[in-house]
Amino acid sequence: MKTDISDLRGDFPILDQLVNDEPLTYLDNAATAQKPNQVVAALTHFYQTDNANVHRGVHTLAERATAAYEDARHKVTHFINAAEPAEVIFTKGATDSLNLIASTYGEANIEAGDEIVISIMEHHSNLIPWQQLALRKHATLKYIELTPTGELDMADAETKITDKTKIVAVAHASNVMGTVNPIAALTKMAHQHGAIMVCDGAQAVPHMPVDVQALDVDFYAFSGHKMMAPTGIGVLYGKRDLLAAMPPYQFGGEMINFVHRYESTWNELPWKFEAGTQNIAGAVGLGAAIDYLENLGMSNVQAHEQQLVNSLLPQLTADRQIEVYGPHDPARHTGVIAFNIKGLHPHDVATALDMEGVAVRAGHHCAQPLMETLGLVATARASLYIYNTQDDVDRLIHALNETKEFFSHELIKAE
C-alpha cells in the first residue's frame, strides 16, 4: 500500500502552485477531486495508442478500445462488489444515473397515491428527479427530517416509510454536513415495506469502502470526477432483475438488438442503457483512478481523512465566531465540513480565504431545501481528500483567523 502522503502529493502537480502568492491549499474536493499523473497518463495512452469506437469494429484498435472499456467495467464491479459486470452501467455521472432510475423504473412503477421518500439533506440531483416524478404521477413526496445534531432522524424514517412507499432515495453521505447515513438500516426498512432503495453514493465511494451487496441497495449512483477520474463519467449500479425489467433510457446505436421498420428489440445488459458512443476515455480514466485508490487501500483513504477531520473539526467547533453545521463528533463525520463565520457572508469568507491560497466552496451546495431547514442562505464548505495534509488544515485555520481579523469590525457588529 502506498501511504506516504509526501510522496502522494507528487502525483498531483496541480497542487504545486501559488495562488495569490500563497501555496495552494485545495479544499474543494466535494465539488471535484484533482487527477493524479497516473489517470492523466492513462487518458493520454488511450488517445495516442488505442483510440477507436467500442463494440462495433473488428480491427485491432477497436478491439483494444473495447477491451479497455470493458476492463474498466470489471474494475468498477470489483471496487463496489457488484455481483457481476452486467449490473454496472456507465453514465455521465451521478446526476445522470439518478435521472435514469426516475425516468425508467420510476415512470414504469409509480402510480397516483404512491409515496416516494427522500431525506431533507439530499443534493438536488437526488431530489428534483423524485419531486418531478411525484408531480407527473400524482404521487406523494415525503422527507425524512434531521435530528438536532444534523443526522438523519431514523424514528422519523420509520413513520415516513409505509406500505404505500415505492421508492426510498437517500445519500450515503451528505455533500453539505458530512453526515454518513445508515444506508443498510434504511434499505432493510424500505424492503420490509416492499419499496426499493436508491442510494446517492457520490460523496461516499471516493472516501470509504463501499459494498453494494452488503448494503443490499437496489440502485447506487456515483460520479468519477469526485474520485480523481475525468469529468463526464459515472456509474449506475443496479440489481440485475430490476435493470432487466426496466425500459431503455435512451435510444440509438449500441443499445439495440434488432431494428425493423416499425419495432425494435433491445440489447442485453449492461449495453441496453448505453446508447450511442460512450465516454470511452472517461471509463478508461475511471479504471485508472480505481487502480490508484485500490493501491492506496480504501481503508487507508478513510483513515487518513479521519485523522484530518479529528484535527480540523474540533478547532472549528471550539471557535465561538464559527458556526459548524452537522455532527460535531469527528467519528460521525466525513471530510466535508460546512461552516460560517458569524456576521460574514460565506462568499466573502471564500473570497478572503482564496486570497490566502485556500480554495473552499461557498453557496447552497445544490441543497436548497436543506439550507431552508437550517435557516440559511448559504455556507462555506471545506472538503478533504487523500492528498490533503495537516499543513492544509493548519493553513485553513490560519486563513480563517486572518479573515476574522480583517473583518473584525463586522464581527463586532454581529455580536
CA distances from 275 to 266, 268, 279, 360 (A): 10, 12, 11, 37
Q: Write the CB contacts of 80 (distance below 8 Å, at least 6 apart in sequence).
A: 205, 210, 211, 212, 220, 235, 237
Distance from C-alpha of 380 to C-alpha of 361, rounded to nearest angstrom? 6
Distance from C-alpha of 292 to C-alpha of 289, rounded to nearest angstrom? 5
Q: Write the CB contacts of 70 (distance below 8 Å, at least 6 apart in sequence).
A: 54, 85
Q: How many residues does the chain have?
A: 415
Establish whether 199 is a catalytic residue: no
Read off the DSSP letter of residue 111.
Answer: -
CA distances from 158 to 134, 180, 188, 219, 285 (A): 21, 18, 11, 21, 41
In this structure, are strands 219-223 and 234-238 parallel, antiparallel, or unpaired?
Answer: antiparallel
Catalytic residue among 316, 366, 397, 411: 366
C-alpha cell at 221: 449512483
Give the E-state strand segments of 217-335 in sequence order: 219-223, 234-238, 256-259, 264-266, 322-325
Amino acid at 69: Y
Distance from C-alpha of 223 to C-alpha of 92, rounded to nearest angstrom? 8
Residues classed as catalytic: 366
